[in-house]
Amino acid sequence: MERREAIQRKNGFWHVVKSLLSGLRLTWRHFLNADKRRQPVPVSDASYFKQPEGLVTLTYPYEAIPVPENGRYRLHNEIDDCIVCDLCAKVCPVNCITIESVKATEEIGMTSDGTKKRLYAPVFDIDMAKCCYCGLCTSVCPTDCLTMTPVYDFAEVDIKNMIYHFTDLSPEQAEEKKQLLAKQQEEMAAAKAAALAARKQG
Helix count (H) and strand count (E) of the chain? 5, 7
Per CB under 8 A, contacts with another protein among 59-78 are: 59
Contact between 121 and 162 under an 8 Å Cβ cutoff? The reply is: no
Identify the residue among 120, 122, 146, 167 touching ligand SF4 (CB under 6 A): 146
Of the ranges 23-31, 63-71, 79-87, 118-126, which one interacts with another protein (CB under 8 A)? 23-31
Residue 123 half-sphere exposure toward CB, CA atoms < 13 A: 10
What's the DSSP call for residue 133? -
What residues contact 130, with CB distance under 8 A and at least 6 apart? Answer: 94, 95, 96
Work out how close the CB of 149 gets to ligand SF4 at its nearest, in angstroms, rounded to a whole number: 12
Per CB under 6 A, contacts with ligand SF4 among 80-139 are: 82-88, 91-94, 96-97, 126, 131-137
d(CA 61, CA 17): 44
d(CA 198, CA 201): 5
DSSP helix/strand/coil, 25: helix
Which residue lies nearer to another protein by CB, 37 or 74? 37
Alpha-carbon Rg for the chain, nearest whole angstrom, is 32
Number of residues that bind ligand SF4 (CB under 6 A): 29
d(CA 183, CA 187): 6
Work out how close the CB of 40 gets to another protein at its nearest, in angstroms, rounded to a whole number: 13
Question: Which one of ligand SF4, another protein, none is in contact with 24 (Cβ closer than 5 to 8 A by kind)?
Answer: another protein
Per CB under 8 A, contacts with another protein among 25-54 are: 26-28, 30-31, 33-34, 54
Best CA proximity match to 102, nearest among 86, 120, 118: 120
Residue 137 half-sphere exposure toward CB, CA atoms < 13 A: 30
Question: Which one of ligand SF4, another protein, none is in contact with 135 (Cβ closer than 5 to 8 A by kind)?
Answer: ligand SF4
Which residue lies nearer to another protein by CB, 27 or 47? 27
Work out how close the CB of 100 gets to ligand SF4 at its nearest, in angstroms, rounded to a whole number: 11
Which residues of this chain interact with another protein, rule CB under 8 A? 20, 23-24, 26-28, 30-31, 33-34, 54-57, 59
Which residues of this chain interact with ligand SF4, rule CB under 6 A? 75, 77, 82-88, 91-94, 96-97, 126, 131-137, 140-143, 145-146
